Protein backbone atom coordinates (compact mmCIF):
# COMPACT_ATOMS: atom_id res chain seq x y z
CA UNK A 1 0.00 0.00 0.00
CA UNK A 2 2.83 2.36 0.90
CA UNK A 3 4.51 1.65 -2.43
CA UNK A 4 1.29 2.44 -4.29
CA UNK A 5 0.95 5.75 -2.46
CA UNK A 6 4.59 6.57 -3.23
CA UNK A 7 4.06 5.75 -6.90
CA UNK A 8 0.91 7.87 -7.03
CA UNK A 9 2.73 10.74 -5.33
CA UNK A 10 5.54 10.46 -7.89
CA UNK A 11 3.16 10.43 -10.85
CA UNK A 12 0.90 13.22 -9.55
CA UNK A 13 3.55 15.28 -7.72
CA UNK A 14 2.28 18.48 -9.31
CA UNK A 15 -1.46 17.68 -9.09
CA UNK A 16 -2.36 17.02 -5.46
CA UNK A 17 -6.12 16.86 -6.08
CA UNK A 18 -5.58 14.09 -8.64
CA UNK A 19 -3.21 12.33 -6.24
CA UNK A 20 -5.80 12.45 -3.43
CA UNK A 21 -8.57 11.13 -5.68
CA UNK A 22 -6.35 8.33 -6.96
CA UNK A 23 -5.23 7.34 -3.45
CA UNK A 24 -8.86 7.36 -2.29
CA UNK A 25 -9.85 5.11 -5.21
CA UNK A 26 -6.98 2.70 -4.48
CA UNK A 27 -7.93 2.60 -0.78
CA UNK A 28 -11.55 1.85 -1.62
CA UNK A 29 -10.54 -0.96 -3.99
CA UNK A 30 -8.14 -2.48 -1.47
CA UNK A 31 -10.63 -2.37 1.40
CA UNK A 32 -13.44 -3.71 -0.80
CA UNK A 33 -11.22 -6.66 -1.71
CA UNK A 34 -10.33 -7.23 1.95
CA UNK A 35 -14.01 -7.09 2.90
CA UNK A 36 -14.90 -9.65 0.27
CA UNK A 37 -12.08 -11.96 1.39
CA UNK A 38 -13.16 -11.74 5.04
CA UNK A 39 -16.75 -12.44 4.00
CA UNK A 40 -15.72 -15.57 2.08
CA UNK A 41 -13.68 -16.90 5.03
CA UNK A 42 -16.53 -16.13 7.44
CA UNK A 43 -19.08 -17.92 5.25
CA UNK A 44 -16.79 -20.95 4.98
CA UNK A 45 -16.35 -20.97 8.76
CA UNK A 46 -20.12 -20.81 9.29
CA UNK A 47 -20.57 -23.68 6.85
CA UNK A 48 -18.08 -25.81 8.78
CA UNK A 49 -19.78 -24.99 12.09
CA UNK A 50 -23.19 -25.85 10.63
CA UNK A 51 -21.85 -29.16 9.31
CA UNK A 52 -20.39 -30.07 12.71
CA UNK A 53 -23.66 -29.10 14.38
CA UNK A 54 -25.62 -31.34 12.01
CA UNK A 55 -23.26 -34.26 12.67
CA UNK A 56 -23.56 -33.76 16.42
CA UNK A 57 -27.36 -33.56 16.27
CA UNK A 58 -27.46 -36.74 14.18
CA UNK A 59 -25.20 -38.56 16.66
CA UNK A 60 -27.31 -37.42 19.61
CA UNK A 61 -30.53 -38.50 17.88
CA UNK A 62 -29.02 -41.90 17.10
CA UNK A 63 -27.87 -42.31 20.71
CA UNK A 64 -31.35 -41.40 22.00
CA UNK A 65 -32.98 -43.84 19.59
CA UNK A 66 -30.61 -46.64 20.62
CA UNK A 67 -31.20 -45.88 24.30
CA UNK A 68 -34.98 -45.95 23.82
CA UNK A 69 -34.73 -49.18 21.83
CA UNK A 70 -32.51 -50.80 24.48
CA UNK A 71 -34.84 -49.72 27.28
CA UNK A 72 -37.90 -51.05 25.44
CA UNK A 73 -36.09 -54.37 24.93
CA UNK A 74 -35.25 -54.52 28.63
CA UNK A 75 -31.49 -54.31 28.13
CA UNK A 76 -29.85 -52.73 31.21
CA UNK A 77 -27.87 -49.51 30.76
CA UNK A 78 -24.18 -50.07 30.18
CA UNK A 79 -24.64 -53.56 28.74
CA UNK A 80 -22.82 -54.42 25.56
CA UNK A 81 -24.99 -55.65 22.75
Q: What is the pLDDT of residues 3-45, one digit of tens each?
A: 999 999 999 989 999 999 999 999 999 999 888 899 999 999 9
- Domain hosting residue 58, numbered range: 2-72
Domain-located, residue 80: no
DSSP per-residue letters across the chain: -HHHHHHHHHHTTT-HHHHHHHHHHHHHHHHHHHHHHHHHHHHHHHHHHHHHHHHHHHHHHHHHHHHHHHHHTTPPTT---
Is 11 part of any domain?
yes
To 5 degrees, how large is the angle CA 37–CA 43–CA 45? 105
Is the whole model's pTM more than 0.85, yes or no?
Answer: no
Residue 81 lies in a domain: no
Number of domains forming the structure of the chain: 1
Amino acid sequence: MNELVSLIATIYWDRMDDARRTIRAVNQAVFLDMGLAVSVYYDAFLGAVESMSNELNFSLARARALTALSESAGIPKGSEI
